[in-house]
A and B are shown apart, each in its own frame.
Chain A
Amino acid sequence: GEDVEQSLFLSVREGDSSVINCTYTDSSSTYLYWYKQEPGAGLQLLTYIFSNMDMKQDQRLTVLLNKKDKHLSLRIADTQTGDSAIYFCAEAYGATNKLIFGTGTLLAVQP
């Protein structure tokens, strides 16, 4: 079945760049998403990328998409303590409106 994989944990120092990686399985996904979950809260959309794009930049965030390898990454420049959260990638499942979420990556930012 469909599976979206992420590493579970990433630790960086404040001011460094963070790179969170994701591999997905459905090559027909039109959109791929990155969500952020702060402690005790629901998920919030951080950014998304359309499948015909290779890269999308939004302030400190850069999303890279490698469709051949089905690999998605999120780079956060100048990581701050407020970026500490769980980050989920998600792909749209075929022609449905369902999303398949990865396991989530806990980003810990050390001061």
Chain B
Amino acid sequence: DVKVTQSSRYLVKRTGEKVFLECVQDMDHENMFWYRQDPGLGLRLIYFSYDVKMKEKGDIPEGYSVSREKKERFSLILESASTNQTSMYLCASSWAGGYNEQFFGPGTRLTVL
């Protein structure tokens, strides 16, 4: 079974702190994604990576950066957390190619005080 794990289920941080969210997948997937999920807005793509050290901005990249140094690991970084970044963060991975089912981690609920 494909497994996507995220480093924390719940996280509480203070405004201005640097926050790291980690995601690891075990299926040798080329693609990895970070989304945030807010009620009534669905899932919005923050960043996407299609290979090691490669990244592409999604729909809402402002205030976020990412790192992919190894194929299995994709990190989301909030350089200076703000209260409007309080949200559920979901990581996903998929193979490259036509059928692009994404496999999701359990999510990290981040609260910024």
Report A's interface with B, CB cutoff 8 A. Answer: 4, 8, 30-31, 33, 35, 40-45, 48, 88, 92, 97-99, 101-104
Partner of A48, one of B31, B101, B103: B101
- Tell me if B83 is interfacial: C-beta within 8 Å of chain A: no
User: Can you give 20 contacting A-B residue pairs, CB < 8 Å?
Assistant: A8-B40, A30-B98, A31-B98, A31-B100, A35-B104, A41-B107, A42-B104, A42-B106, A42-B107, A43-B43, A43-B92, A45-B103, A48-B101, A88-B43, A97-B48, A97-B100, A101-B35, A102-B42, A103-B41, A104-B43
Q: Are B4 and A97 in contact (CB under 8 A)?
A: no
Report B's interface with A, CB cutoff 8 A. Answer: 4, 31, 33, 35, 40-43, 45, 48, 50, 58, 90, 92, 94, 96-107
Residues from chain A with a CB closer than 8 A to the CB of B45 are 98
> Whole-angstrom distance from the CB of A49 to the nearest CB of chain B?
12
> Whole-angstrom distance from the CB of A22 to the nearest CB of chain B?
11
> Whole-angstrom distance from the CB of B49 to the nearest CB of chain A?
10
Residues from chain B with a CB closer than 8 A to the CB of A44 are 104
> Whole-angstrom distance from the CB of B99 to the nearest CB of chain A?
6
Partner of B42, one of A33, A48, A98, A101: A101
Chain A residue nearest in CB terms to B9? A40
